[in-house]
Amino acid sequence: MKIAVTSEGTTLSDQVDPRFGRCAHFMIVETDTIEFEAIGNSNAGAGGGAGIQSAQLMSERDVKVVLTGSCGPNAFRTLNAAGIEVVTGVGGSVQDAIEKFKAGDLSSSTSANVAGHFGMQKQQ
């Protein structure tokens, strides 16, 4: 299955980026083979609507599940419309996140877990 993990870097050992819409990179991962592709997020610096555009990108990439720290209401609505599952509250390394997901330790969210504009501030 194709999933996406928001990441601070471009390798599996990098940390999960806690922001969805304004994350540094998306790691698009094929869970069966662990083949992955890191794509830079050109929406990270958008004035507004970063989450919406990032969600649209996920849809275009035919991603089925997104693993991230936090997801705001607009991004959630868009991902939902695209039939993409969202798992929030994910931390640690990208590798850990993928393994936890494969082991079934992560469950998807039914609503946004942060208010809009959350990702405007880089979380430390």
List of residues contacting other proteins (CB under 8 A): 43, 45-50, 52-53, 55-56, 59, 74, 77-78, 81-83, 115, 117-118, 120-124
- 48 or 92: CB nearest other proteins: 48
Nearer to other proteins, 74 or 88 (CB): 74
- How far is residue 99's CA from residue 31's CA, in Å, rounded to a whole number? 9
The label of the residue with tokens 């989450």 reads: 51
User: Shortest approach of other proteins to residue 64 CB, angstroms?
Assistant: 12
| Least distance (Å) between residue 24 CB and other proteins | 12
For the bound state, the minimum distance from the C-beta of residue 103 to other proteins, rounded and expressed in Å, comes to 29
Residues 6+ apart with CB under 8 A from 113: 70, 71, 88, 89
Annotate 33-55 with DSSP letters as a single string: TTEEEEEE-TTTT-SS-HHHHHH
Q: Contact 21/52 with Cβ under 8 angstroms?
A: yes
By beta-carbon proximity to other proteins, the closer residue of 77 and 100 is 77
**2 — phi, psi (to 5°)?**
-90, 120
Rounded least distance, CB 43 to other proteins, Å: 8
**45 or 104: CB nearest other proteins:** 45
